[in-house]
């Protein structure tokens, strides 16, 4: 099975910072990758699908890139409401594995 | 408005069974694949199982294969997860998630609030 590895596991940044989270697949998955945001005590929310397509209603400061095995989620200017755990997920075929998550905090 | 409402969770002893349900509304249920995703307390998301629109394609995580069975009743707009031989490590909040397409290989655009399963003696 393909493994999904996110880095870093946790991250602390200042408001206004550019933040990048990486997700690596153990084998190529083309662009079959989604990113989700889960705020504390809340249900996960879709941010990006097909590696780089922004879900409707998601702020444009979020962006995704990558293909094959290496993917990134970028927040161009960190806002206080972005405090959350971020997960990548591959969906090309079962198992639809999630990364272990990246916890993002405000410094 | 899309709504996914899970039910059936609770406290169960190891080795026993439980059946989760997810009642869907606000969309044409039989046009979309559906999935179960779980989250153990304080842990990350774990995909459990998915089923295509017509039940023709079904998949399971290795951790539940042979013990859990996913099914759907399109006439009742409902998704199910039959969980047998439960273990302590199955303790989690179980989410029902709607796929974007009819295929099980898809991202999720809607999630339910989850139902908590606790496996303990």
pLDDT of B25-67, one tens digit each?
Answer: 999 999 999 999 999 999 999 999 999 999 999 999 999 999 9
A89 touches chain B (CB under 8 A): yes
- Write out chain A residues lying below 8 Å of B37, CB-based: 44, 98
pLDDT of residue B103: 85
Cα–Cα distances (Å) from B30 to A18, A49, A60, A76, B101, in that order, read: 41, 22, 32, 39, 10
- Write out chain A residues lying below 8 Å of B114, CB-based: 43
| A85 min Cα distance to partner chain B (Å) | 9
Mean pLDDT (whole number) for B80-106: 95
pLDDT of residue B104: 83
Count of CB atoms situated within 10 Å of the CB of A25: 23
Question: Hey, what's the torsion of the CAs at A89, A93, A96, A102, to 10 degrees?
Answer: -20
**Is B62 in Cβ contact with A32 (below 8 Å)?**
no
pLDDT of residue B75: 97
Interior CA angle at B43 toward B8 and B37, to 5°? 45
Q: Which of B44, B50, B94, B115 to mutate to test the interface with A (most CBs of A within 10 A)?
A: B44
pLDDT tens sequence for chain A (107 residues): 999 999 999 999 999 999 999 999 999 999 999 999 999 999 999 999 999 999 999 999 999 999 999 999 999 999 999 999 999 999 999 999 999 999 999 99
Closest CA to A58 of A74, A71, A42: A74
The rounded distance, in Å, linking the Cα atoms of A45 and A36 is: 5
List CB contacts of B5: < 8 A, sequence separation 6 or more: B22, B23, B112, B113
């Amino acid at each position: 099975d393909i493994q999904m590895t996110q880095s870093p596991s946790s991250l602390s940044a200042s408001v206004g910072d550019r933040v990048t989270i990486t997700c690596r697949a153990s084998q190529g998955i083309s662009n079959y990758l989604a990113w989700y945001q889960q705020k504390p005590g809340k249900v996960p929310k879709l941010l990006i699908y097909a590696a780089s397509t922004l879900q409707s209603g998601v702020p444009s400061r979020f962006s995704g890139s990558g293909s094959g095995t290496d993917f990134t989620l970028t927040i161009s200017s960190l806002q206080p409401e972005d405090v959350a755990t971020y997960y990548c997920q591959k969906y090309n075929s079962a198992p639809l594995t999630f990364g272990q998550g990246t916890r993002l905090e405000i410094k | 408005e899309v709504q996914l409402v899970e039910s059936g969770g609770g406290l169960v002893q190891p080795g026993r069974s439980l059946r989760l349900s997810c009642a869907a509304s606000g969309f044409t249920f039989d046009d979309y694949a559906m999935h179960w995703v779980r989250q153990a307390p304080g842990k990350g998301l774990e995909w459990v199982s998915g089923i295509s629109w017509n039940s023709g394609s079904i998949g399971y995580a290795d951790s539940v294969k042979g013990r859990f069975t996913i099914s759907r009743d399109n006439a009742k707009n409902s998704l199910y997860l039959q969980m047998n031989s439960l273990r302590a490590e199955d303790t989690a909040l179980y989410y029902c998630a709607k796929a974007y397409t009819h295929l099980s290989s898809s991202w999720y655009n809607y999630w339910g609030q989850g139902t908590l399963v606790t496996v303990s003696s």
